[in-house]
Structure 1
Amino acid sequence: MLSSKSFARAFVPVALVALAAPAQANDLKSVEASLSATQSMTANFVQTDGKGRQMAGTLSLKRPGKIRFAYGGGVNMLLVANGKTLSFIDYDVGQKSSWPIAKSPLSVLLSPNPDLGRIARLVPSDNPQVVVVRARDARRPEFGTLVLAFIKSASAPGGLRLEGWTAIDAQNKKTTVRLSNQRYNVAVPDSAFTYAEPKRKKA
């Protein structure tokens, strides 16, 4: 079990982006293999924004292209991708924002054919059990950056357990997601990626 201090270093890459070393092909291939072998996943998550505000909930993922963040604690919001479109729904205000998955940092996680060689770099870690990858398409910087943190685990797909990530959008806003209770390649119905349309609130 990694100490909290060691695991925290897995997310230091947000502050060390400029120090990212050239990717080693074998390590990136291992990450690609892990992503490809993850056909589905469920987990608990804690999401922290750039101001330190936290929300928790449950995550469902089904590749390619599907993910759902169901927030708990009375938070009446939903983030869901249905295979083509990523949508954020705020039921309290009755609004929905949508954009193509391919234009989101999460496209790295949800791509049907992960190919990190052109867009990814390894980030140095002082813990040999931790693998951190920073993915950013220099040709399309407006799509943002995703920094993925894995821990080596023989029981996880491809020998790497996804522990979380930091998404950095084009406005440099950072959102960190930490996972727990990960379950891989379990049955996740397609209905998990549907949602009720929000009702617009009257002024």
Structure 2
Amino acid sequence: MNTILKTLRTPVLAASALALAATGLSVLPTPATAQSATDRAQIDTAVGALRAISSMRADFVQTDRNGQRVGGVMTLKRPGKIRFQYQKGVPFLIVADGSSLTMIDYEVRQVQRWPIRNSPLGALLDPNKDVARFARLNPTANPSVLSIDVKDPRHPEYGTITLIMVRKASAPGGWELDSWVALDSQAKRTTVRLTNHQYGIAVPDNTFRFNDPRTQNRRAG
């Protein structure tokens, strides 16, 4: 468990959370020198499918570069709201409430927060940002699979997110977010896979609130 918690406390996890909150994406033309028209069209298709999600719940399994795995439930609501509820016994929570991304470590009573506009790969949370200009399509051997790298060249410290989407008729926009890989600037890799997707579910806004362990600590004192 200590190894898992150490992994959860690395910055690459924050980038992962930002990637999954991509339902607030805004699409503008990618520079012609960076992508072909066909590639841009496929990126627009993927982004359109993500934006078509009003709400979603899915199980997730997160794997670090050493093969350590931890699971939980992800709940998402457009725009910019997301919650990673980790499995029982893992005292860690990630919540984005539409304005800030917060990582809560209940074991050490620590809270880290980033304004969405200033977060790593913040274009993936802010509907006013243009993520398409940070995206590049990767070739795949399967026409029913899309692989898209997202990286801000002005901020290499944010790392790279690779989104994997698969064609699925029942998913919004006809494509489903299957998994993603976050690679930080120190080449630390985290892979997250989703299963049991549920779309269009009722999600109350208080889902994206949390108990602040720092307040609990002050009261205890």
Equivalent residue for 1:40, pick from 55, 58, 61: 55
Change (3 A) 1:75 1:197: same
Aligned length: 181
User: What's 1:165 paired with?
Assistant: 180
The 1:184/1:114 distance shift into structure 2, 3 A limit, reads farther
Provide the C-alpha distance between the structure 1 equivalents of 2:187 and 2:121, rounded to a whole number of angstroms. Answer: 12
Distance apart, 1:105 and its partner CA: 3.6
Distance in 1, Cα, partners of 2:35 & 2:46:
15
Q: Cα deviations across residues 107-161 of structure 1 (Å, max 9, x unaligned)?
A: 52x3425744311111111112111100111122233221100000111111101
Separation of aligned partners in 1, 2:169 and 2:49: 11
Aligned partner of 2:160 in structure 1 is 145
SS at match of 2:198: strand
Partner of 1:104: 120
User: If the length of structure 2 is used for normalisation, what is the TM-score?
Assistant: 0.75
Structure 1 unpaired stretches of 5+: 1-20
- Report the 3-state secondary structure (helix = DSSP H, G, I; strand = E; otherwise coil) of the residue aligned with 1:166: strand
Specify the alignment match of 1:12 in structure 2.
none
2:132 aligns with: 117
Change over 3 Å in CA distance of 1:87–1:105 after alignment to 2:
same
Counterpart residue type for residue 125 of structure 1: T
CA RMSD of aligned residues (A): 2.1
- For 2:43, give the aligned amino acid: L
Counterpart of 1:85 in structure 2 is 100
Asked whether the equivalents of residues 148 and 166 of structure 1 are also in contact (C-alpha less than 8 Å), the reply is yes
More helix by share: 2
Shift of 1:187: 1.4
1:141 is matched by which residue type in structure 2?
A: P
Q: How much has 1:43 moved relative to structure 2?
A: 0.4
TM-score by length of 1: 0.81
Partner of 1:52: 67
> Equivalents in 2 of 1:106, 1:177: separation in Å?
19
Distance 1:177 1:118 in 2: 24
Deviation larger for 176-185 or 23-32: 23-32
Aligned to 1:177: 192
Letter of the structure 1 residue corresponding to residue 120 of structure 2: S
